[in-house]
Structure 1
Amino acid sequence: MSLLLICHIGFVGAVEKQQTSAQDPLYDGPYLFEQTKTQQSQQAYWICASELQATRVINNELKRPNECGKLPEPKLNPKAKEIAANTYTNVSKIVALSDVHGQYDVLITLLKNQKIIDEHNNWVYGTGHMVMTGDMFDRGHQVNEVLWFMYKLDKQASDAGGKLHLLMGNHEQMVMRGDLRYVNERYQTAEKLLERSYDELYDSSSEIGQWLRSKHTIVKINDSLFLHGGISGEWVDRELTLDKANQVYRANIDKSKPELKSDDLLNFLFLGNGPTWFRGYFEDDYQESEINRVLAYFDVKHIVVGHTSQTRVLGLFNNKVLAVDSSIKNGQSGELLLITPNEGQDTLIRGLYDGSRVTL
């Protein structure tokens, strides 16, 4: 759908309210798209008690309408779409987690209890780096809340001298190419009221969509490699670099599945045994010699992955592989991984849901 149709919805205080079918009142948003020539000002769109409303964006701030629950009120970041480096060294501390899948409440509780954020959900991890190894989309009912929270944390981390690394998982890629099989039914209301399919809510005309499209799929921090699924030996055989792969991912994220399958490199990177889908580390016949080959290629000691669900943060092959998908997607609890360099030997800690910590 074109932005012109959205603009016809109206302006602040004059939006024609549209009622959804008889369900419990739903609160969702904000949704923000590029301002068009026909708009006098940029507008943010909200669903308040299952009705569509809009507010003007003033001084880069989004303010929700009155009586619209506790939806996020983000401040826009002019630097949100800047492309970061692929590799970082001398980072004093790292925290990693994965596969939140719209479970905002579990995410917030875990980060608070582990003192990554404060009681007001603000960054307190200082100059540390936080890595979310993909899959914020799909399954759960608070995807938009997770995305705007991460958007805010991205700026707060940078302002403190730290960094948030938001890596693309297979579910981010699926949504962007219109594979909507796992979208929570809650978002049918937003699709109907905004007259956009779910993937169009986060397309390249949207603030969140542009922000996500600037992000990497793989990053190297100190002596650890972080990504969603895993690196197979095929990557080494193809002699791919992080820089090339991340560029290819960003340039082709919106292509359809047939388009991706028609190109040998794109088919590998986006599908099959590519880095966002590979699960080989967890198969019984996987050989440690293969992981040693991958580690040597990247000159790292650890590969940190999500994607394959566990009941806890797990170390495999003498902690050469660190699995951080702790099943947050179930909406009950979760863990994170804390990495601290220590005289050439990383200290690896499981950060538990209740705030306690256990050596891995």
Structure 2
Amino acid sequence: MRILNLLPVAFSLFALSVSANGPSINDGPYLIQSSPSQQSAYWICDSQLKQSSAAPHNNQVKFNRPKTCTELPEPVLNPVARQVLADTYQGVKKIVALSDVHGQYDVLITLLRNHQIIDEHNNWSFGDGHMVITGDMFDRGHQVNEVLWFIYQLDKQASEAGGQLHLLMGNHEQMVMRGDLRYVHPRYDTAVKLLERSYDKLYGDDTEIGQWLRSKHTIVKINDMLFLHGGISKEWVERQLTLEQANALYRQNIDKSKAELKENELLNFLFFGNGPTWYRGYFKAEFTQAELDTILAYFKVNRVVVGHTSQERVLGLFNNRVIAIDSSIKLGHSGELLLINENGLIRGKYDGQQVPL
């Protein structure tokens, strides 16, 4: 097994046109509440700030992009986007899981299309299946906003089709929310300047995407599998935590500063170190089968599926009791996904090939 040591992706010129005055940025939308019942959409078109209001669209609410802002998302609002869903599911017949997209929209779309999770128009085509993304949409890459709006729309479509999309919070979501902006791509400097908001406030609790993200879980249990970003350590078992307790604590404290979180022993564990969004113990030589058995027995599951620790492919460890699904999408070249269905555990390759794990 090889664990890659990955650096932030280099600056790309997606949605840029270069002029004599430098690169021209297209970015957005950023939906911000102007009153308790009204939102305005802000766009960056050729490095100029534009604004639009909501318009009716097939009995729904849509924000149309300015004509000069080609190729950017045109979101249709999801009226139940802030609903907190269950964190445990049984009887799910098919699941697809991936992780650590880090703003690589084009790679994500190609991978999902090649495995018929979405159609040629990027709409949900996975029926009543469940899709799990185990965190880290933010940082490194240059298409974070495109990724987030795409998943926002897919979330709505999946639910309407009888399926479910589980976007779980990773350490980079948590970092951005508390203002740790070390890995934000330079593309977003323009929006920060023109909107006069720090990057974390572009996804604050007065924004559509920010409110949607704050409703999400960090850990979910589906059938006999546990899904999360980093991993469950033995410290979790020693603390006797439940999924419900942990997911609630994450939502309640996501906006606290690092200093505030570290003042509380339990929050310090959950948000850092051996906590579920940072833990890498499964990939260390000293981690044992006995330790894993204790963790699986505690949750009454047979497998745990994690991202966070980068691989070259979807990888099974401990006889597929641990499945690593961070397949280095963040590099912007390719990636893989995990499929679980009547045929068992399957590696979904970038070109659409499917092979047993």
TM-score of the alignment, normalized to the shorter chain, above 0.5: yes
User: Residue 75 of structure 1 corresponds to which residue in structure 2?
Assistant: 76
Name structure 2 gaps, 5 residues minimum.
Answer: 1-18
Letter in structure 2 aligned against 1:152 = Q
What is the CA distance between 1:35 and its match in structure 2?
A: 2.3
Q: Distance in 2 between matches of 1:310 and 1:66?
A: 41
1:26 partnered with 2:18: no
Amino acid across the alignment from 1:348? L
Structure that is richer in strand per residue: 2
Counterpart in the other structure of 1:303: 304
Match of 1:233 in 2: 234
Aligned residue in 2 for 1:317: 318
Cα deviation digits, residues 330-360 of structure 1 (max 9, x gap): 0000000001256xxxx10000000110100
2:44 matched to which residue of 1?
47
Across the aligned residues of Structure 1 and Structure 2, the Cα RMSD in angstroms comes to: 1.3
Distance 1:135 1:335 in 2: 15
Q: What does residue 3 of structure 1 align with?
A: none
Distance 1:341 1:354 in 2: 22
Q: Normalising to structure 1: TM-score of the pair?
A: 0.91
CA offset at residue 68 of structure 1? Answer: 1.1
Q: In structure 2, give the amino acid aligned to 1:78.
A: P
Q: How does 1:131-210 map to 2 (within 5 A)?
A: 131-210=132-211
Superposition map of 1:1-360 within 5 A: 22-36=21-35, 42-59=39-56, 60-341=61-342, 347-360=344-357
Q: 1:34 Cα deviation (Å)?
A: 1.1
User: Is the partner of 1:96 in helix, strand or coil?
Assistant: strand
Match of 2:8?
A: none
Query: Whole-Å Cα distance in 2 between the matches of residues 341 and 299 of structure 1?
Result: 21
| In 2: Cα distance, 1:68 partner to 1:284 partner | 50
Q: Distance in 2 between matches of 1:340 and 1:107?
A: 21
Shift of 1:21: 10
- Measure how far apart 1:144 and its partner are: 0.1
Listed one character per residue, the Cα deviations across residues 113-134 of structure 1 (whole Å, up to 9, x for unaligned) are: 0100000000000000000000
Aligned residues: 335
Pairwise CA distance, 1:69: 1.4
Q: Which amino acid aligns with 1:206?
A: T
CA distance in 2, matches of 1:49, 1:109: 27
Query: What is the letter of the counterpart of residue 335 of structure 2?
Result: G
285-294 or 93-102: which moved more?
285-294
- Displacement, 1:293? 0.4
Give the partner amino acid of 2:26: Y
Letter in 1 for 2:311: Q
- Distance in 2, matches of 1:190 and 1:174, equals 19
What is the CA distance between 1:23 and its match in structure 2?
Answer: 2.1
Partners of 2:53 and 2:267 lie apart in 1 by: 40
Residue deviations 1:285-315, cap 9 Å, x none? 1111111100000010110000000000000
- What's 1:13 paired with? none
Secondary structure of 1:66's counterpart equals coil
In structure 1, what is the Cα distance between the partners aligned to 2:39 and 2:175?
Answer: 28
Which whole-Å CA distance do the structure 2 matches of 1:93 and 1:35 have between them? 41
The C-alpha deviation readout for 1:28-68, integer Å capped at 9, x for no partner, is 0000011228x9x6320000111110111123201000121
Q: Tell me the secondary structure at the aligned position of residue 250 of structure 1.
A: helix
- Distance in 2 (alpha carbons) for counterparts of 1:68 and 1:340: 40
Q: Which amino acid aligns with 2:295?
A: V
Q: Which amino acid aligns with 1:34?
A: Q
Aligned residue type for 1:305:
V
TM-score by length of 2: 0.92
> Whole-Å Cα distance in 1 between the matches of residues 132 and 287 of structure 2?
26
- What code does the residue aligned with 1:354 have? D
Q: Write out per-residue CA displacement over residues 257-298 of structure 1, whole angstroms, 9 at most, x where no aligned residue.
A: 000001000000001110000000001111111111000000
Q: Which amino acid aligns with 2:291?
A: E
Deviations 1:57-82 (A, max 9, x none): 12320100012111000100010000
Q: CA 1:281–1:21 in structure 2 vs 1: closer, same or farther (change >3 Å)?
A: farther
Percent pairwise identity: 68
Deviations 1:119-158 (A, max 9, x none): 0000000000000000000000000000000000000000
Q: 1:291 to 1:69 in 2, by over 3 A?
A: same
TM-superposed CA distance for 1:96, in Å, is 0.3
What SS class does the counterpart of residue 33 from structure 2 fall into? coil
